[in-house]
Amino acid sequence: MAVTLGAKAFTKVVAKSESAYGTPSSFNDANGELLHTDIVGVIDPGVTVDLADDKSAGIRPKRLASSATVTAKAPVITLADAPVSARNLPIYFDALATITPTGTGPYTWAYTPSATDVDTIKTYSLYLTDGVQKYIVDGCVPSELTLSADQSGLLQAGVTWSARNIATTTDTSTAAFAQQYFVPGRLFGVRTNSSFITTVGGGNAYSTYATNWSLTLMPGAAPLQVLNGDATNVNAGGVAYTGAFDGTLEITIASNSSKASAFPLADIGATKYVQVSGVDSNGYGFTASIVGVMENVTVIGSESDGLILETVTLQLASDGTNSVKCWITSPLAARPASA
């Protein structure tokens, strides 16, 4: 007899913003933004069970089945690093700060996390299916986000979503594929300055011999378990900024005079102001300006395509006013509504 199996890991991932935390969006319609992401990913239910191990129960086995108690649920969804479209990328940042896009197309989504206060989190619901199993995961907010690009590929993103709850669903999302725009890595450039770069293309252009970069942001957002007095609800009680904002920028550059003057060995421990930016012919792209402490620099690197390459590692910091700012220019005009 025929056996029905999931065709691949994720046949469809759809995102909708939520009307309120703890209120999952419905996906039995054509609304929502279909994420054009890699099929590779993991859904971890995040269930914590107290098994009452090694309790006296009058039997030889170390635990009694009826004594197991579910104490918490905090799902995690991991989407693997993969080329990310300029249409999808704003969603990852909007969840962290509730961004209002500007412009008439391309639309600019500016992510400027506060250095002194918490931002307004806008949680999302995700619809995930392998073609057989269907789930809605709600209360989602990125707890880690990595973007990267190299000279021979496309802008990539990988995201870890922390969530409130995961549940099976009978909904069938008919969200349609929208035109996606991908940014080639070769379009990215590196810029440096003596102060924080506040505009796209500000500062001074670095040597063209930068071959790749990787930016990891850990905004400190996570589900928060609370004593809610609800015997039927073991899900996270809320979502909040519970940790420090942190991040790392790594840039691979050629061993040349520009590297020696911009990122010398003597500057390890010094403050650097750096921007990476790439925009395609449609005006769609990604830019990130950071304040970083130069933690390390490779002084003799490896050879690739005839170049001696070296890596600069910058740890995200604050100069008292600025830390990081990201601009996404996108065809997406507004966040995908919950209905």
220-269 tens-digit pLDDT: 988 877 777 777 777 767 788 888 899 999 999 988 888 888 888 889 99
Exposure on the CB side of residue 288, measured as CA atoms within 13 A:
25
Predicted pLDDT at 9? 79
* Tokens encoding 73: 């649920």
| Residue 317 · residue 291 · CB < 8 Å | yes
* Tokens encoding 164: 């409130």
| Residue 211 · residue 252 · CB < 8 Å | yes
Question: Chain-wide mean pLDDT for the chain?
Answer: 90
pLDDT 10s digits, 294-322: 998 887 667 777 778 889 999 999 999 99
Q: Which residue has better confidence, 202 or 297? A: 202
Torsion (CA) 155, 126, 179, 153 in degrees, nearest 10:
20
* Tokens encoding 218: 């850990």
Predicted pLDDT at 150? 92
pLDDT 10s digits, 274-300: 999 999 999 999 999 999 999 988 876
Predicted pLDDT at 54? 82
Predicted pLDDT at 249? 98
pLDDT above 90 covers a percentage of the chain that reads 60
pLDDT 10s digits, 150-196: 988 999 999 999 999 999 999 999 999 899 999 999 999 999 999 99
Q: Which residue has better confidence, 61 or 29? A: 29
Predicted pLDDT at 69? 86
Report residue 1's pLDDT band, with 50, 70 and 90 as the boundaries. Answer: low
Opening angle at CA 74, ends 69 and 77, nearest 5 = 135
Torsion (CA) 314, 315, 319, 321 in degrees, nearest 10:
110
pLDDT 10s digits, 76-114: 999 888 899 999 999 999 999 999 999 998 999 999 998
Give the span between the Cα atoms of 81 and 90, in whole angstroms: 16
Alpha-carbon Rg for the chain, nearest whole angstrom, is 23
| Residue 330 · residue 90 · CB < 8 Å | yes
Give the span between the Cα atoms of 151 and 184, in whole angstroms: 8
